[in-house]
Amino acid sequence: MNRISNKIGLLATVVSIFFATGCNDFLEETDPSNFTTDSYFTQPAHGRSAVNAIYASLREPLGSGFGGGAWMMTEFATGLANTDLGQAVNSYFVKDLRNTSDNGYGQTYWAAYYRGIANANLSIEKIPGIPAMNAAEAAKLVGEAQFLRAFYYFNLVRMFGNIPLVTESVNLQSPQLKPSQATVEEVYNYIVADLKAAEASGLPWADPSGKVSMGAIKSLLAQVYLTMAGYPLQKGAAYYELAAKKAEEVIDSKQFRLFTTYNDLHNPAKKNVEENIFMIQFKTQILPSGWQVSIIPYNKNISQYSDETGGIYSTADFVKSYDSADLRAKEKQFFYTKFTDEADRNKVVDLGGNFIYKHFDVTAQTSTANSDLNWPVIRYADVLLTYAEAANEATGPSVKVYESLNAVRTRAELPALAGLTKDGLREAIWRERWYELCFENITWFDMVRLRKAFNVTTKKFDNYVGHKFSYGPTVTARELLFPIPTSEMRNNTNLKQNEGY
């Protein structure tokens, strides 16, 4: 028998799978040490619980505390984030462009996502062979697993470049315990194949429980094509057209819509519906979300949380760069600069910075200290802007491009745009992405695929390499990727470190 270990080493060394206790709640997990691949996957319920386990890796980077949080890595890399948490050295290494392969944030992503890939590989292999499993249900479960595997690889390849491509379950005797790196194009081709297969799985357009849906699959595929059109692959017009068509399928489905108020972005009652196409799932009292302590100021006594870390907030220069009429930059929309005192809610405290309100759980901060918020991964606003950018690049300005862009602008109480050249519209769409999708682990990926950075002073776009952050440091070519973690390099001598680290 092939004993499943609950440890993960360099990669997907020994397959670990976090089996859920039931089919109805895929947030609950139990110790897998009593299971083997031979004794499990013997009844249909095992298929559901095995796929539930794949989702667990989504949550790991979002843990936060006085050491910071891995999710902050791609935010500090934009040059648009600040921190008051002096002991979170990993944040400063990224923020000040002094990063090294010892950074624990990168290690968290690498280990968590390859663990998710290992679990996906096992599920994809084993579920179709489960006795008495309904074929249609098996196809849907495999579709979920394929989406999640594609998502993990999409993030890893963008963060780390040439990475190992592990496509089957691994045991202690497997030659893939210490795999070599695949090319970036090989990884992207595998991602596309997974998502195309997931499209044929029969999953519903939307899933209010938070599981993978057809809307999520097509939205992610649009993002993948958009990225492949740009750097580093530079596949150009044909892939912009593919991205536009895939995003258009989501728009034309009429299954999703923008929220009418930004408050719904952090309203637990709006999880997994309307604008929220795919989210990382949390549940108060069971698996509460972990970033609330990081988006409140350092020890200002405004919160029911005992830890107020000041872990991450926006630079003042970025918030000032918004149009003065832009609703998103107004108090308690995307950011907040004041809040009431924890001991006296009639007293207002000046926080001394622009803290992130779009992820703020009001009930948890003022009452329960136990957040029920999900983390947004794919919002409909992103799909609209993906379509607008891709379609403009493929065929130039059109009525539908303007409709998609202006839907996002109208909610922000900004005037509709019209009559721009292709180049002018391109930069208008980019600006909208920076302003709308900030602090959602998206902006740095945009910077790298475009090789552009937003200059908060000129409100124009600089070349990414050579761009100077508003607080001093200048981006070099090495910042196009993050370093492969030291522990992974040590354990697998087949890996080659990224240039400059």
Express each pLDDT in 106-163 by its tens digit: 999 999 999 999 999 999 999 999 999 999 999 999 999 999 999 999 999 999 999 9
**Would the pTM of this model clear 0.75, i.e. be above it?**
yes
Q: In this structure, is residue 390 part of a structural domain?
A: yes
One domain for residues 457 and 495: no
CA pair distance 154, 224, nearest whole angstrom: 7
Is residue 219 located within the same domain as residue 248?
Answer: yes
One domain, residues 387 and 475: no
The 10s digit of each residue's pLDDT in 194-220 is 999 999 999 999 999 999 999 999 999
Whether 208 is in a domain gets the answer no
CATH number at 97 reads 1.25.40.390
CA distance 438 to 441: 7
Q: What is the pLDDT of residue 26?
A: 57
Residue 261 resides in a domain: yes
Are residues 321 and 378 located together in one domain of the fold? Answer: yes
The answer to whether residues 301 and 372 belong to one domain is yes
Q: What average pLDDT score do residues 159-169 get? A: 96
Count the domains in the chain.
2
Is the same domain home to 438 and 487? no
Alpha helix stretches (DSSP H) within 98-213: 104-126, 135-160, 184-199
Same domain as 69, residue 35: yes
**Is the peptide bond prior to 232 cis by the omega test (within 30 degrees of 0)?**
yes
335 and 385 housed in the same domain: yes
Asked whether residue 478 falls in the same domain as residue 460, the answer is no
Residue 295 phi, psi dihedral angles, 5° rounding: -105, 15
In a domain, 21, yes or no: yes
**Is residue 388 situated within a structural domain?**
yes
Asked if residue 434 is part of any domain, the answer here is yes
Give the span between the Cα atoms of 243 and 72, in whole angstroms: 27
Residue-averaged pLDDT of the chain:
93
- Domain assignment of residue 483, yes or no: yes
294 shares its domain with 405: yes
CA angle (80 as vertex; 76, 86 as ends), nearest 5: 50
pLDDT tens digits along 332-343: 999 999 999 999
Q: Which domain holds residue 55?
A: 1-203+471-501
Closest CA to 193 of 242, 226, 149: 149
DSSP of 136-168 = HHHHHHHHHHHHHHHHHHHHHHHHHSS-----S
Q: 293 and 417 share a domain?
A: yes
Asked if residue 150 and residue 51 are part of one domain, the reply reads yes
